[in-house]
Amino acid sequence: MKLPDYRRFDPLNGLRQRMGAPLGRFTAAKSPTLLTAAELEQLSTTGIEVELRQIRLLADGTLAYKDCRVAVHQRDLLRAGGEAPQPTRLPAFHLADCDVLQDARLRHPDRSYIASTREDALFVLRLCTRGEDGCERRSERLSVCQSCLGRLCWQEFERSLSQMEARELVAAFSLTTFFKAYPKALARQLWSDAKRAGADL
Ligand SMILES: [Zn+2]
């Protein structure tokens, strides 16, 4: 649909002149706290490389990059002699400011992480071999961090669970369910909270 040129629309120009309002030039402002469409796309595919200082800690204990709630995982994995990584050596992905992330923030402030909104738990890692240049990028299915589940009391996850019970909850964990409980879009959540508050008045 082609819109009319309102600069040549007499009723509007007359009103504008009576108001003494000159024609302005509109420039879309870029905010450092808002994601662009390209960044949103990247979050949902390969993820975005970040340092932990760029990750916001939300009041509910979860993590955000700019205006989006995210999962975060360590970018690099060191492997011996180019072997395929053992599942037990793969890093977990984090959803909360758990004690593992708090420790990493103190000990390795410059370590690279990937922020992501993928729901299939397939995350892009860089597999690096000691003494060799270059790293292989590869998608691996990662598990959720148990400390994060404990921090969020996710589905009654408690530190007192047996190892087998904890592993069962980790295996059953769904990022789709998580992002339904903790929506990705933070502004949208605030808006729905405001609407709920209005409905209660
Ligand atoms: Zn964690």
Instruction: Find the 37 Cα to ligand 1 centroid distance in Å.
Output: 28
Q: List Cβ neighbours of 20 (8 Å cut-off, separation of 6 or more).
A: none
**For 153-183, how does the pLDDT look when each residue is reduced to its tens digit (9 = 90+)?**
998 787 778 888 889 999 999 999 999 999 9
| CA distance linking residue 155 with residue 34, whole number of Å | 31
Which residues span the domain enclosing 56? 37-180
Cα 130 to middle of ligand 1, angstroms: 26
pLDDT confidence band for 28 (50 / 70 / 90): low
For the chain, the C-alpha Rg in angstroms (whole number) is: 23
Distance 87 CA to ligand 1 centre (A): 17
| Domain-located, residue 20 | no
CA dihedral 110, 183, 154, 103 (to 10 degrees): 10
Question: Is 126 inside a domain boundary?
Answer: yes
pLDDT of amino acid 162: 86
Question: 171 to each of 89, 91, 121, 144, how far by Cα in Å?
Answer: 16, 15, 11, 8
Ligand 1 centroid to residue 177 C-alpha, Å: 17
Tell me the CA–centroid distance for residue 97 and ligand 1, in Å: 7
Position 151 in a domain: yes
| Gap from CA of 98 to ligand 1 centroid (Å) | 5
- Answer yes or no: is 188 within a domain: no
Q: Is residue 161 part of a domain?
A: yes
Asked whether residue 189 is domain-assigned, the answer is no
**Structural domain count, the chain:** 1
Are 87 and 139 a contacting pair, CB within 8 Å? no
Measured in Å, residue 99 CA sits from the centre of ligand 1 at 7
Per-residue model confidence as pLDDT tens digits over 66-106: 999 999 999 998 876 656 666 567 999 999 999 999 999 99
